[in-house]
Structure 1
Amino acid sequence: MTRSSQPVRAHISEFDDNFERTLRRKRKVPEPSPPSSSSESKFEEKEEAEKDMEVDNRTIKELSASGLDNATPLCIQYPAAARGKTEEFELKSSLLHHIPKYHGLSMEDPNKHLKEFEVVCSSMTPVNVDGSILKMKAFPFSLLEKAKDWLYELAPGTVTSWESMKRAFLEKFFPTSRVILLRKRISGIQQEEGESFPTYYERFKSLVASCPHHQMKEELLLQYFYEGLLPIERQMLDASAGGALVDKTPTAAKTLISNRALNAQQYEGVGQRSNPRPHQVNEH
C-alpha cells in the first residue's frame, strides 16, 4: 500500500462511523406520517357542520315545518308487499297530477275524496306494483293545509295499512257527531210536495252515500224511504208491487223502486198540461 492511500482510508472510516450513528439516531425517531384520507374527511365534515350551524338562522317553527312536502310521515309504516308484487317503485308525475286534493275544510266531503282517490290510483297502478302500498305512498300528496298538518302530527306507527289510513282519516274528518246527524236525516227523510218520485229517490241515495258507515241494514233503509213517501206515491208504489211493498224481500223491493224511478224519469212531464195563458181583453 502506498503512503498516499492511508489518508483516504482514514477519511472513509470516519465517514462510515458518522453515517452509522446518524442512521441509528433517525431510526429511533420515526418520521411524521402524512394525514390519512379518513382524518381529512372527518375534519372537512366537522368544518361543514360548523359552517351550517353558523349560517342556519331559522326559527324552531321554520325548522319543524321544513321538508314537510317531501319527507315521508313518521306515522306511516309500509307493510310487506303481496306475493308477486313489488314495493319498490317511483310515483309518476302523471299520477300525482291527477289525484284529488283535500284541504280539511268543513264543506269538503272526506268520503268523496277517498272514492275519487282510489279510482285514480286503481286506474294508474302498474301491474307489478302493490296497490295498497302505492295508495299509502301517494295519499300524503293528496292532502293540503290542515289535512296535511294532521297527517304529520299523528304518532309514529299509527298507519300500517291502507285500511288503517282510511280509518284514521275518517275518524278525524268524519267524526261520530256527523254520522249521528246524517243517520237522523236518513231516518227522517220526507218527500216534499211537488217533488217527483225520481228526484226523491236520487236525494235519498245521495244522502245514504254521504254516510257509507251508517251501519243501517238495507231493510231499514227501505222502510225509511217507503214511510217518507207522499200518500199518493206510496199507494202507487204498492200498486206496482201488487200489494204492500213491505211484503217483498229487500232485493225485490229495491229493484221495484229502482225500476219505477227509471220509468217515471223517462216519462216525466209527458201528458202534463202547462197552465193556460190568461186571455187578454183585446186579444181578438
Structure 2
Amino acid sequence: MLQIIQNVGQFRGLQGEDPHAHLTNFVEMCGNFSLPSVTPENIRLYLFPYTLRDETKRWAYSLKPNEMTSWEQLVERATQAIVDASTAGGFMDKTYTEAKAILNRISWNMDDWIDDGYGR
C-alpha cells in the first residue's frame, strides 16, 4: 500500500500544487484497498499522513493521537492548514482582494467559483 501511495504522489503544500486534486486522487486510490473489519474511512485516516511531505507532514505530526476521528474532520483541518501555509498564516487578516487571490489560486480547478465583486 505504501509503495502505491508513493507512486501516486505526495503533497508538499507548495504554491502551484492542487490540494483538491491530491485529495481526489488519494480517495480514489484508497478505493482500491479493503481490509476485513476496517472501514474505508479508517483506511483513509491511517494512510493520509503517508501522502504528505515537508510542511504538510510536519502539520500531520503535530496532531495529537486520535485528534482526527472522521475523514471530513481531517479534510477540513488539512484544508485550513494548507490555506494558512499558502498565505504564511493569518488568512483571516488578509484583505478581500488578497483572500480572493489566494482562494482563486487554491481552487483554480473549480468551475463554480463565483466572484460577486464584494469589496471593490
The TM-score range, normalised by the shorter chain, is: 0.5 to 0.7
User: Which residue of structure 2 aligns with residue 111 of structure 1?
Assistant: 20
Q: Does 1:163 pair with 2:72?
A: yes
* Alignment match, 1:257: none
Partner of 1:134: 43
Tell me, yes or no, if the aligned pair for 1:102 and 1:143 is still in contact at 8 Å.
yes
Gap change, CA 1:119 and 1:162, over 3 Å in 2? same
Matched-pair contact (CA < 8 Å) for 1:136–1:161: yes
Deviations 1:142-164 (A, max 9, x none): 01111111111124442111111
The correspondence for 1:150, drawn from 59, 65, 71, is 59
Partner of 1:180: 99
Q: Which has the higher contact order (CA 8 A, sep 6+)?
A: 2
CA 1:154 to 1:132, structure 2 compared with 1: closer, same or farther past 3 Å? Answer: same
Distance 1:93 1:140, change over 3 A: closer
Q: TM-score, normalised by structure 2?
A: 0.65
Task: Calculate the TM-score normalised by the size of structure 1.
Answer: 0.31
Residues 1:209 and 2:117 are matched in the alignment: no
* Alpha-carbon distance in structure 2 between the residues aligned to 1:208 and 1:101: 19
Letter in structure 1 aligned against 2:9: P
Map 1:1-284 onto structure 2 (within 5 A). Answer: 92-122=1-31, 124-126=32-34, 128=36, 129-175=38-84, 176=91, 180-182=99-101, 207=108, 209=110, 221=114
- Cα offset, 1:125, TM superposition: 1.9
- Are the counterparts in 2 of residues 182 and 207 from structure 1 also a CA contact under 8 Å? no
Deviation at 1:130, TM superposition (A): 1.3
Structure 1 residue 183, shift from structure 2 partner: 8.7
State the alpha-carbon separation in 2 of the partners of residues 152 and 184 from structure 1.
25
Cα distance in 1 for partners of 2:35, 2:47 equals: 17
Alpha-carbon spacing, 1:93–1:159, altered in 2? closer, same or farther (3 Å): closer
Give, in whole Å, the separation in 1 of the partners of 2:55 and 2:72: 21
Q: 1:107 to 1:127 in 2, by over 3 A?
A: same
Contact map agreement 2:6 2:51 (CA 8 A) in 1: no
Structure number with greater Rg is: 1
Aligned residue identity for 2:4: L
2:2/2:50 contact within 8 Å kept: no
Q: Provide the C-alpha distance between the structure 2 equivalents of 1:95 and 1:208, rounded to a whole number of angstroms.
A: 25
**Within 1, Cα distance between the matches of 2:74 and 2:45?**
7
| 1:95 positional shift | 3.3
